[in-house]
Amino acid sequence: MDFRDILARRRMHRAFLPDPLAPEQIDRIAGVIRRAPSGGFSQGGSIVVVTDREKREQIARAFGDEHYSTDGRNFIADAPVHMVISANEALYHARYNEADKLAATGGVEVTWPVPYWFVDAGALMMLVLLAAIDEGLASAFVGHPDQKRIFDELLGLPEDVVPLGLALIGKAGDSPPIGSRLRSRQRPLDDLVHRERW
């Protein structure tokens, strides 16, 4: 699919058909991790792919029903593929303490301008969502304030691994009207894109 078409279709879907996806399709989507950039090539991003129905229902319950249910259907539970996208800060500290990096930063670990582990995991999240659209599917991303505990308990994340949230992938269902994207709520482009200087 042409990038412009993918972009035009990009939105957070809020209804999925529960039909399972082909394993090759799931592999292609998760496989974008190989094309994801990372600071110092630290490769701290990770994905846990969940297709097991009972597990997806447990995740949906833990995330709470109120935001995610319409007409008795919960779109987290319905989405046939869950991908938990996480960051691992420790891998960045290890990488930036290797000799080639220390040689460039005077023997001390770089001063982090922003947490690259979250930058990179966010970029990975976007690649996953767009790859799903490229497959002709729908996708969404949701978070929960207590998601570290939730995914530790349900999926056994290691201590160092911090989930950004949950990517949902599946065939598009009939999404409810788009509330949060209303044009009236869109900030003017000039507030977002600055030319030559702020």
Ligand X SMILES: Cc1cc2nc3c(=O)[nH]c(=O)nc-3n(C[C@H](O)[C@H](O)[C@H](O)COP(=O)(O)O)c2cc1C
* Contact residues: ligand X, CB under 6 A: 11-12, 67, 141-143, 165, 180-181
Closest contact distance (angstroms) between CB of 11 and ligand X is 3
Closest contact distance (angstroms) between CB of 106 and ligand X is 35
Contact 110, 152 (CB under 8 A): no
- Closer CB to ligand X, residue 32 or residue 95? 32
Closest contact distance (angstroms) between CB of 71 and ligand X is 16
Closest contact distance (angstroms) between CB of 107 and ligand X is 36
Q: Amino acid identity of 139?
A: S
Q: What angle do CA 185, 116, 81 make, to 5 degrees?
A: 65
Closest contact distance (angstroms) between CB of 144 and ligand X is 7
- Closer CB to ligand X, residue 86 or residue 96? 86
- Closer CB to ligand X, residue 72 or residue 145? 145
DSSP letter at 108? S
Q: Rounded to whole angstroms, how far apart are CA atoms 15 and 109?
A: 45
- Closer CB to ligand X, residue 53 or residue 67? 67
Contact 87, 166 (CB under 8 A): no
Q: Rounded to whole angstroms, how far apart are CA atoms 71 and 38?
A: 41
- Closer CB to ligand X, residue 81 or residue 142? 142
Task: State the distance between the two ends of the chain, measured CA to CA, in whole angstroms.
Answer: 35
